[in-house]
Chain A
Amino acid sequence: MADGLRYVGRPVPRVDGVEKVTGRARYTVDIELPGTLVGRILRSPHPHARILSVDTSRAARVPGVKAVVTARDTLGLRHGFVETPRYPADQAPLAVDAVRHVGEEIAAVAAVDPYAAEEALGLIRVEYAPLPAVFDPEEAMGPDAPEIHPSHPKVLEPYRNIAGKTATSWGDVARGLDEAYCVRTDRFESHLRTHGYLEPQATLASWEGGKLNVWTSSMGPFLKRAKLARLLGLPLSSVRVQKAYVGGAFGGKIDLFSHEFCAGLLSMKAGRPVRMVASREEVFTAYRHGQPLVVELTTGVKKDGTLLAQRLRVINNCGAYRGSGVVVIFLAWGFAAVPYRLPSLEYEGYAVYTNNPVRAPQRGHGAPQMRFAVESQLDMIAEEIGLDPVEIRLRNARLPGEVLPNGDNVHNCGLMDCIRQSAERTRFQERYGRPQQKAVGSGRFRRGIGIGVSAYFGGSLIYPNSSSVVVKLNDDGSLTLLTGAIDIGQGAETILTQIVAEELNVPLAEIRVVAADTESTPVDIGAWISGGAYVTGNAAREAAGAVRRKLTELASEAMEVGVEDLVVQEKAISVAGSPTRRMTYAELYERSVRTRRGDPIIGEGHWRTMRDQPTHPSLASTKGRWTENYAFSAQVAEVEVDIETGEARLLRAVTAHDCGFPLNPVLVEGQIDGQVSMALGHAFLEEVRMEAGRTLNPSWLEYRMPTIHDMAVSEAIDVITERYEVGRPYRTKEVGEGYVSAILAAIANAIYDAVGVRLHSTPFTPERILRELRDRDGAQP
């Protein structure tokens, strides 16, 4: 695989591994500044209420309290995950005249210790006038539902509480359904899950000499800086977001959060550093979880299984403010339609305001919910027309070079190979639908096998749109790599180091990374749009390439040999064919400083995806390109169902994935294993249970995240569709989000194979499976 490659494509240990394994890695909660105050937030106990008054006078007099802030202390600006003319920012960082969900932030205090801060919170008097509330999105759309915000006037709909709408279509769906040999309509629903990052939300802000220094557990320092600066009325140059390690995020740490704003504002008021750390209960009750979808899907196919038409309607319960809810309904069309060739589609998606906490991106950002629907229904259709699940998928899978209706090209799509190889590895076609041949099939435990496929984008055009990297040569020939990328565990610093090592033939240990600092490192797209390996990776490759060009030119001049006759050795340039005629990087550095007016050899590289596109596509109409980079996968699940208890388990997951080229195979496997685990939590264990906007299970004991006992065997098959060559751009894809989706659908399909129960809602709990088993057996005794 890694022909001629030294560092890229190798399973090298992560560059931050030693710091992490020795406890030296400093996370936001570990950073200590003298005089740091403890910040706390007062939150709404009501899901919907008018605020009549807020009185903080007694709180401010508590000994040890250094600052108290409410909406009156803000500039009155709003923010949103999306801030466009159609979808203007809709959320104030501190509630102004109404609260719209339990946990909404009303006031914040900073005090010398937690006791004073808690006492002060208890002394803030808020007068509320409760308002009627609505929690179910379809109820919220009804004509009598309480209005949470005035529906945005540009979204003209007969429904209430519409936060946003996406609609798109191509081809002739009516004709397609008319001509179809088989048509099915089904409704699928998903449920609320949390991200499960172990490091809680945390921010340390320090206002010093007209500058706000911020450390925050985040996925995008440059985005956080932009939002903080605007809301606090500061120029970008007065806000510096600095690196801290991030203890997991999974989509849940990219929005701007009130605690980040309040830490900054309180520090500006108090003149001392302020630390905000959310308790686990706060994270569960007041912060942002994922986005359950209602998916109504009608699909028509030819007799041979070829897809003809789909009609798709998606309703997203986006909570009290838009958050990324309007992005999910935009993405949903692609998550439904990218993997298979689809001649016609009619799609509409609604994001609906409810009095639930706001929702965030969550690994996959809607893809698991959409693939669950599409892949479940495809299996139902296959059964009706007598095809097996692999056949129908191979019939419809995209081929390399296909162009989607929005202009995106699937380029080196490896989906056909993913399907074939995952099926071969698991002997899928021999085993599917043959319960009588199962080794453990006759008794209480029934085993089944299922497949699903998915596609996921790698990078798109969203602020800040670009990644840059700077590589500096040091006078001993070692390198310093400056990147704005933030490592949230995915290994960003490691793969960037590998790329620079490869391009310049410098050992990994001699490359120092300076990362994720808005002041000292160049801009980066952030770790939330699945573009790190592609966008920032190519920027790193270009930066290293610029250094290599300078070195080669210097060597050519010094040794009086043409550039084309030089080769790169480890930390040296030599003449091809005579390796002893060489100059070390240290010698070339010295020569450059001496002969090039002091140039110490610095390389810069930039990358922007879709450089021919002016901006991001329309969220409303989907017009415009979204990405130039889709990764594909086929995943097979083997499950076991206990027909007495209804309990189901994932035994084995096989992921055949087309990530292009695995820059670091061990990191790729880690991403796949983690996503399989997250998906099995999604399928079987995890649910944030809410009643009237209140979280009923706000702890790890009551919310079951997978433990070591829930581990499934996870196997990966690399379908390589890309080569990495020094000095040339590569189109490697993403591995961080795509593989949490098809496996969920594969699990649902495997449960059907095991016990004949078709589940239309997640999670696949014992109660639900037992009920379906009883219904089925009741119907056919």
Chain B
Amino acid sequence: MGLVVNGERHELAVEPQTTLLEALRTQLGLTGTKESCGQGECGVCTVLLDGAPVLACLTLALDCEGRHVVTIEGLAPDGTITPVQQAFLDAGAIQCGFCTPGMVLSTTALLRETPHPTPAEIGKALEGNLCRCTGYNKIVDAVQRAAAEDCPGAQAGSDHG
């Protein structure tokens, strides 16, 4: 099968039951996408599929044939970060970091669609992403900072997605 990951086309040999998460982590070595429950309950494996957030652990690799996937590694070229990532750093929205890639990607997708989200819209966009460390306070702060920057999403990522 073929799919485009972070702007680069890959040909992969996968089993019918191989998930997108397994393909990304084990075949492409993109370990920035995490696994916590494997059952679609925590959001840490969130990636962007044709620009929309999906749970990679519940997505079959074969269903991504010909589609565009953006992972945390593909949001910005090496050595740079997107305004969303910068906002997470500045707001102190990162502790252990295990939920961070999924949170950043969910936020990126939100801000592309809704550059100035209301608290309710932020809640809706991130309700599937669990975080145990922060209590979410500084994550919401990060989303609002990124929105206030008025440069929604990630320019670099949007080229791929």
Binding site for B on A (CB under 8 A): 11, 13-14, 16-27, 29-30, 32, 195-200, 245-250, 279-280, 488-491, 666-667, 669-670, 673-678, 699-701, 705-709, 711-714
Binding site for A on B (CB under 8 A): 25, 29-39, 41-42, 44, 71-73, 75-76, 81, 85, 88-90, 92, 94-101, 104, 122-123, 126-127, 129-140
Instruction: Find out whether the CB atom of A699 lies under 8 angstroms from the CB atom of B37.
Output: yes
List of A residues within 8 angstroms of B98 by Cβ: 27, 197-199, 247-248
List of B residues within 8 angstroms of A669 by Cβ: 92, 138
Instruction: Find out whether the CB atom of A247 lies under 8 angstroms from the CB atom of B34.
Output: yes
Cα distance A675–B133 in the bound complex, in angstroms = 8
Would A30 and B31 be within 8 Å (CB), given that A198-B130, A677-B135 are in contact? Answer: yes
- For the complex formed, measure the closest distance between the CB of B111 and the CB atoms of chain A, giving whole angstroms: 15
Would A709 and B81 be within 8 Å (CB), given that A22-B73, A198-B96, A198-B132 are in contact? Answer: no
CB < 8 Å neighbour of B41 from A17, A246, A666, A699: A699
Instruction: Find out whether the CB atom of B122 lies under 8 angstroms from the CB atom of A708.
Output: yes
Instruction: Find out whether the CB atom of B29 lies under 8 angstroms from the CB atom of A280.
Output: no
Cα distance A675–B95 in the bound complex, in angstroms = 13
Instruction: Find out whether the CB atom of A709 lies under 8 angstroms from the CB atom of B127.
Output: yes
Closest chain B residue, CB of each to CB of A196 = B132
Cα distance A677–B41 in the bound complex, in angstroms = 19
Closest chain B residue, CB of each to CB of A32 = B29
Closest chain A residue, CB of each to CB of B26 = A32
Cα distance A677–B140 in the bound complex, in angstroms = 14
Instruction: Find out whether the CB atom of B129 lies under 8 angstroms from the CB atom of A280.
Output: no
8 new A-B contacts at CB < 8 Å, known A21-B88, A23-B33, A490-B95: A21-B85, A22-B73, A23-B73, A32-B31, A198-B98, A666-B92, A699-B41, A708-B126
Selected A-B contacts with CB under 8 Å, 13 pairs: A13-B89, A21-B89, A21-B94, A22-B73, A24-B73, A245-B96, A248-B98, A280-B37, A491-B95, A666-B92, A673-B135, A677-B137, A699-B37
Instruction: Find out whether the CB atom of A27 lies under 8 angstroms from the CB atom of B34.
Output: yes
Instruction: Find out whether the CB atom of B140 lies under 8 angstroms from the CB atom of A247.
Output: no
- For the complex formed, measure the closest distance between the CB of B14 and the CB atoms of chain A, giving whole angstroms: 14
Instruction: Find out whether the CB atom of B34 lies under 8 angstroms from the CB atom of A489.
Output: no
Would A489 and B95 be within 8 Å (CB), given that A23-B73, A196-B132, A708-B140 are in contact? Answer: yes
List of A residues within 8 angstroms of B133 by Cβ: 248, 489, 670, 674
Closest chain A residue, CB of each to CB of B30 = A23
Instruction: Find out whether the CB atom of B41 lies under 8 angstroms from the CB atom of A16.
Output: no
CB < 8 Å neighbour of A25 from B33, B97, B131: B97
Closest chain A residue, CB of each to CB of B25 = A30
Chain A binding surface SS class: loop
CB < 8 Å neighbour of B123 from A19, A21, A675, A708: A708
Instruction: Find out whether the CB atom of A700 lies under 8 angstroms from the CB atom of B33.
Output: no
Cα distance A676–B34 in the bound complex, in angstroms = 26
Cα distance A491–B25 in the bound complex, in angstroms = 27
Instruction: Find out whether the CB atom of B36 lies under 8 angstroms from the CB atom of A280.
Output: yes
List of B residues within 8 angstroms of A677 by Cβ: 132, 134-137
Instruction: Find out whether the CB atom of A670 lies under 8 angstroms from the CB atom of B95.
Output: yes
Which 6 interchain pairs have the tightest Cβ spacing? A23-B32, A677-B135, A489-B96, A247-B98, A20-B97, A23-B72
List of B residues within 8 angstroms of A200 by Cβ: 36
Would A18 and B89 be within 8 Å (CB), given that A248-B132, A700-B42, A707-B127 are in contact? Answer: yes
Closest chain B residue, CB of each to CB of A17 = B89
Cα distance A197–B37 in the bound complex, in angstroms = 11
Instruction: Find out whether the CB atom of A199 lies under 8 angstroms from the CB atom of B32.
Output: no
Instruction: Find out whether the CB atom of A21 lies under 8 angstroms from the CB atom of B81.
Output: yes
Instruction: Find out whether the CB atom of A199 lies under 8 angstroms from the CB atom of B41.
Output: no
Would A23 and B71 be within 8 Å (CB), given that A489-B97, A669-B138, A711-B136 are in contact? Answer: yes
Would A24 and B126 be within 8 Å (CB), given that A673-B137, A705-B132 are in contact? Answer: no
Instruction: Find out whether the CB atom of A280 lies under 8 angstroms from the CB atom of B138.
Output: no
- For the complex formed, measure the closest distance between the CB of B88 and the CB atoms of chain A, giving whole angstroms: 5
Instruction: Find out whether the CB atom of B127 lies under 8 angstroms from the CB atom of A708.
Output: yes
Instruction: Find out whether the CB atom of B92 lies under 8 angstroms from the CB atom of A670.
Output: yes
Instruction: Find out whether the CB atom of A17 lies under 8 angstroms from the CB atom of B39.
Output: no
Cα distance A18–B101 in the bound complex, in angstroms = 11
List of B residues within 8 angstroms of A19 by Cβ: 97
- For the complex formed, measure the closest distance between the CB of B139 and the CB atoms of chain A, giving whole angstroms: 7
- For the complex formed, measure the closest distance between the CB of B92 and the CB atoms of chain A, giving whole angstroms: 4
- For the complex formed, measure the closest distance between the CB of B129 and the CB atoms of chain A, giving whole angstroms: 7
CB < 8 Å neighbour of B96 from A32, A247, A667, A699: A247
- For the complex formed, measure the closest distance between the CB of A662 and the CB atoms of chain B, giving whole angstroms: 12
List of B residues within 8 angstroms of A27 by Cβ: 34, 98
Interface centre among A20, A200, A249, A714 (most CB of B within 10 A): A20
List of B residues within 8 angstroms of A13 by Cβ: 89-90, 92
Instruction: Find out whether the CB atom of B135 lies under 8 angstroms from the CB atom of A676.
Output: yes
Would A707 and B35 be within 8 Å (CB), given that A17-B94, A21-B89 are in contact? Answer: no
Instruction: Find out whether the CB atom of A667 lies under 8 angstroms from the CB atom of B92.
Output: yes
List of B residues within 8 angstroms of A490 by Cβ: 95
Instruction: Find out whether the CB atom of B132 lies under 8 angstroms from the CB atom of A197.
Output: yes
List of A residues within 8 angstroms of B139 by Cβ: 708
List of A residues within 8 angstroms of B35 by Cβ: 29
Instruction: Find out whether the CB atom of B138 lies under 8 angstroms from the CB atom of A673.
Output: yes
CB < 8 Å neighbour of A14 from B71, B72, B94, B101: B94
Instruction: Find out whether the CB atom of A22 lies under 8 angstroms from the CB atom of B34.
Output: no
Instruction: Find out whether the CB atom of B100 lies under 8 angstroms from the CB atom of A20.
Output: yes
Instruction: Find out whether the CB atom of B39 lies under 8 angstroms from the CB atom of A699.
Output: yes
Cα distance A200–B38 in the bound complex, in angstroms = 11
Cα distance A667–B75 in the bound complex, in angstroms = 26
List of B residues within 8 angstroms of A30 by Cβ: 25, 31
Closest chain A residue, CB of each to CB of B120 = A709
Interface centre among A21, A196, A247 (most CB of B within 10 A): A21
Interface centre among A199, A676, A701 (most CB of B within 10 A): A199
Cα distance A667–B41 in the bound complex, in angstroms = 28
Would A246 and B96 be within 8 Å (CB), given that A23-B32, A23-B72 are in contact? Answer: yes
Cα distance A26–B72 in the bound complex, in angstroms = 13
- For the complex formed, measure the closest distance between the CB of B30 and the CB atoms of chain A, giving whole angstroms: 8
Would A280 and B39 be within 8 Å (CB), given that A23-B31, A705-B132 are in contact? Answer: yes
Instruction: Find out whether the CB atom of B130 lies under 8 angstroms from the CB atom of A709.
Output: no
List of A residues within 8 angstroms of B32 by Cβ: 22-24
List of B residues within 8 angstroms of A670 by Cβ: 92, 95, 133-134, 138
Cα distance A549–B76 in the bound complex, in angstroms = 43
Closest chain B residue, CB of each to CB of A701 = B41
Cα distance A200–B44 in the bound complex, in angstroms = 12
CB < 8 Å neighbour of B92 from A11, A247, A250: A11
CB < 8 Å neighbour of A245 from B41, B97, B127, B131: B97
Cα distance A198–B134 in the bound complex, in angstroms = 12
Cα distance A708–B29 in the bound complex, in angstroms = 30
List of B residues within 8 angstroms of A32 by Cβ: 29, 31
CB < 8 Å neighbour of B100 from A21, A246, A673, A678: A21
Instruction: Find out whether the CB atom of B42 lies under 8 angstroms from the CB atom of A198.
Output: yes
Cα distance A699–B135 in the bound complex, in angstroms = 20
Cα distance A196–B131 in the bound complex, in angstroms = 9
Cα distance A711–B136 in the bound complex, in angstroms = 6
- For the complex formed, measure the closest distance between the CB of B3 and the CB atoms of chain A, giving whole angstroms: 18
Cα distance A694–B37 in the bound complex, in angstroms = 19
Closest chain B residue, CB of each to CB of A668 = B92
List of A residues within 8 angstroms of B37 by Cβ: 280, 699-700
Would A23 and B101 be within 8 Å (CB), given that A199-B34, A708-B127 are in contact? Answer: yes
- For the complex formed, measure the closest distance between the CB of B120 and the CB atoms of chain A, giving whole angstroms: 10
- For the complex formed, measure the closest distance between the CB of A281 and the CB atoms of chain B, giving whole angstroms: 9
Cα distance A45–B30 in the bound complex, in angstroms = 36
List of B residues within 8 angstroms of A21 by Cβ: 72, 81, 85, 88-89, 94, 97, 100, 104
CB < 8 Å neighbour of A674 from B30, B127, B134: B134
List of B residues within 8 angstroms of A14 by Cβ: 89, 92, 94
List of B residues within 8 angstroms of A197 by Cβ: 96, 98, 132
Closest chain A residue, CB of each to CB of B90 = A13
Instruction: Find out whether the CB atom of B94 lies under 8 angstroms from the CB atom of A279.
Output: no
Instruction: Find out whether the CB atom of B94 lies under 8 angstroms from the CB atom of A198.
Output: no
Cα distance A592–B81 in the bound complex, in angstroms = 40
Closest chain A residue, CB of each to CB of B135 = A677
